[in-house]
Structure 1
Amino acid sequence: MSETVTSRAVRAGGSLVRHLRTTLDPSSSQPAGGRRPSSGWLAVTVLCEPSDLDEAALPAPLAELADRVEVRVRPAAGDKGTELCARLRDRPRPASAAQRLSGDDEEGELRSALRRAKQLIEVGEVLRVDPTPHGKRTPTPTGALLESWTKAAPEGGVR
């Protein structure tokens, strides 16, 4: 039993360290030589036919970004659905750690919009994580940290 508790504690600690390192220095989560895509395009693979998506009638999360983004739709490799690609028209400089933590990250906003658009297309709704258990929870530093990560998670994505 103590091995299970110990291994869970070690995994949780490792996850915490990785998340903090990624938040403060996004390059730490990239493989050697990994960088932002030079083209600026971010993509998600959606489980539908390319003909089912119309670039002129975008899902709400992308439509909200309107003229700030360019969008393209193309078949995914190996007939595995459709690639929904988007990039910011005016490429911002990489966000600093302070900007990412405060939610002022345009690229993060685009990643979140792509993820929500994918959910709308595939499932019909945007799934939300609500970590609050039933009833009231006593505020603790760990709980506050968990809730702040939950709010920032949709913008994180894999870089």
Structure 2
Amino acid sequence: MALVHRRRAATGARPGRWQVVTVTGRPEQVLPGGRWPEPLRRLDGAVEVWARPAPGGRGTELAVRPLGGTPALAGFAAHLVGDDPGRYLRQVLRQTRQLLETGEVLRADRSPLDRPAARRPRRPGSEATG
């Protein structure tokens, strides 16, 4: 059973190409109650989203495509200037996958020491001695 969340284009223009990732979890966990995870919410009104079980019971396929010819695409116009819209869409999809699977959007420029202390493994001998 596929969960589909559609936003119709205002004109008859054709929608863009689907971008798909496989995410750990069931479709109802990926899009609970039809609500989009935060990175995808930035594109609300500009994209169509669906989720369905991945082949072989290996999680959920999460797919996104831009709606064609809709003024809502201007919502991410800042990312379009000098940028490929498909690239931005893939980036948002990757961030969504990271958030769903790890609970945070991973950043390459962040030091391991910047991570929340609760998630950092304890090293032997690192306890404070008084």
User: Alignment partner for residue 63 of structure 1, among 27, 31, 41?
Assistant: 41
Distance in 1, Cα, partners of 2:18 & 2:29: 21
TM-score, length-normalised on structure 1? Answer: 0.49
Structure 2 portions without partners, runs of 5+: 1-14, 70-78, 112-130
Deviation at 1:56, TM superposition (A): 2.7
Structure 1 portions without partners, runs of 5+: 1-37, 92-99, 133-159
Distance in 1, Cα, partners of 2:100 & 2:38: 10
User: Alignment partner for residue 89 of structure 2, among 105, 110, 114?
Assistant: 110
Which position in structure 2 is the counterpart of 1:74? Answer: 52
How many matched pairs?
A: 88
Which one scores higher on RCO, CA 8 angstroms, separation ≥ 6?
Answer: 2
Q: Which has the higher helix share?
A: 1
Q: Report if the CA contact (8 A) 2:16-2:67 is conserved.
A: no
Distance in 2, Cα, partners of 1:103 & 1:110: 14
Amino acid paired to 2:38 = A
Answering whether residue 62 of structure 2 is matched by residue 84 of structure 1, we say: yes
Secondary structure of 2:83's match?
coil
Which position in structure 1 is the counterpart of 2:22? Answer: 45
Distance in 2, Cα, partners of 1:115 & 1:87: 14
Q: Report if the CA contact (8 A) 2:16-2:66 is conserved.
A: no
Distance in 1, Cα, partners of 2:48 & 2:110: 34
Distance in 2, Cα, partners of 1:61 & 1:131: 19
Pair 121,103 (structure 1): closer, same or farther in 2 beyond 3 Å: farther
Secondary structure of 1:85's match?
strand
Q: Deviations over 1:36-81 (max 9, x none)?
A: xx97111000011122122731111111011110000000011000
Percent of paired sites with the same residue: 43
Q: Which has the higher strand share?
A: 2
Distance in 1, Cα, partners of 2:109 & 2:21: 24
